[in-house]
Amino acid sequence: MIAVSRRSCATVQVYFDNPPGVSRATSGRLVRTAGRNRAPAILGLVTENGMNVAVLGLGYVGCVSAACLAKLGHRVVGVDRDEFKVRSVVEGKAPFYEPGLEEMVRETIAAGRLTATMCLEEGLAEADIALICVGTPSERNGNASLEQLRRVSQQIGSALEGRARPLIVVVRSTVFPGTCEDVVMAEIGRPGVPVVSNPEFLREGAAVRDFLEPSLLVVGGDDAEACRRVASLYEGLPVEPCLVSLRTAEMIKFACNAFHAVKIGFANEIGALAGQLGIDANEVMDTLCRDAKLNLSAAYLKPGFAFGGSCLPKDLRALAYRAGRLDLNLPLVESVLPSNEAHLKRATQTLLDLQEKRIGVFGLAFKENTDDLRESPVLAMLETLIGKGRDLRVYDPHIRLEDIYGSNRNFLLSAIPHIGKLMVGSLEELTGWAGQVVIAQKPSVEMAGRLRACGLPLVNLVGAF
């Protein structure tokens, strides 16, 4: 039989009439005895250097994190204002369905590594690390609500008043870059309390497995020792921690989720078009996924300049046009070219904002190691700059006007008829004339060294170096 009562700090107290190996709960926490019926030590994943961890919030992320960290050998106190969630955990149950979670909660409760309370002060009393796992739901305007985050940060600040024991505060909730500094640190208001971002990458329905077999572990912060200690929570798991800056960690979570959404949307649009054409969409996408050199790789996932060339713009236009002929709307595919154009405009505006009058441009072709000028974004950028009266010179190591011909030459001359007056024959000629150099094409290692050594300010549009 289990009875639940409250104390002034809203602690749930749980009293067991006759559970094996368990004495009466004290201050809302389950106290284990050394009785012979105590559950055996957890094998396999248990770390030798377990820490005291408070998990603030027992929703999907918090409860899974609490149970899995306890599985790893840490001593974990889950904290939540919701009596049902706390009662469920102390009874050895999961407050929601997630495969494998209830068994792990039951196992770690029995092993004495997991407890739960409604009292935040109590949860933090012995904690070395506090993981904030509260919700950040959408507001009407689309922004993420930080109400719960602000409240728990204020409560942490109050609980730390007069405390000598050090505490690392870790934000697992999904928050926009800058939130840890502007909200969490500000609301805690305690100098010397390090705040670390440790975003979760857990899929509902596979969250326990994702925690114990992680594909990515990100820990970000300005305090290197605090980041190291947070990363050590996951010792024993098959993953190498990525230690990054605080805002980078916050951004990575948004980038991952946006990328997942884009992938799903893309697959669905290709599937819709394939279905209209009587083509097996699964066969198309399954075959696409077999290319791990380009399709499933980092090859096209490096921030840089706009794309161009003879293939991507042309084929995107054709795909959108033919889908339209079938009365099929593909908003994601159709938005790629406008997105690319917007990126080109941002780069062009960056150059228009330069104070330097003489601008040297390195690169003219649509990408490195080619002389293909068709739909090169550099040409479009140069057209705008020339129209705005900028004084330019251009150097591309693979382009000699006398050597290009056919559609390539026609495209160039139709875009900038007087391009011959702007082209120079060497990097030294470019840097000797210019007051600033724009890198519009990824340089070779040798050329990158020469650009660095030229002594001029460099505007890097392509993520070089």
Kind of pairing between the strands at 218-220 and 436-439? unpaired
Contact 60, 96 (CB under 8 A): yes
Mean pLDDT, each 10-residue run in order, the chain (465 residues): 42 37 36 32 53 97 98 97 97 96 97 97 97 95 96 97 94 97 96 96 96 97 97 96 98 96 96 97 96 93 92 95 96 96 96 94 92 89 92 92 74 77 93 97 94 95 83
pLDDT at residue number 419? 81
The structure tokens listed for 411 are: 């495209």
Which residue, among 132, 142, 130, has the nearest Cα to 166 in the 3D structure? Answer: 130
- Return the SS3 of 115: strand
- Return the half-sphere exposure (C-beta side, CA atoms, 13 A cut-off) of residue 33: 13
pLDDT at residue number 414? 75
Give me the amino acid identity at 253: K
Quickly list H helices, 91-185.
101-110, 120-124, 147-159, 179
pLDDT at residue number 151? 97
Q: Is the pTM of this model over 0.85?
A: no
- Alpha carbon distance 448, 431 (integer Å): 13
pLDDT at residue number 25? 37
All domains in the chain, ordered by first residue: 38-244 (3.40.50.720), 258-301 (no CATH), 312-460 (3.40.50.720)
The structure tokens listed for 246 are: 């605080």
Instruction: Name the packing angle between helices 83-90 and 60-71 (round to 10°).
Output: 20
Can you spell out the DSSP letters for 51-90? -EEEEE--SHHHHHHHHHHHHTT-EEEEE-S-HHHHHHHH
Active centre residues (catalytic): 311
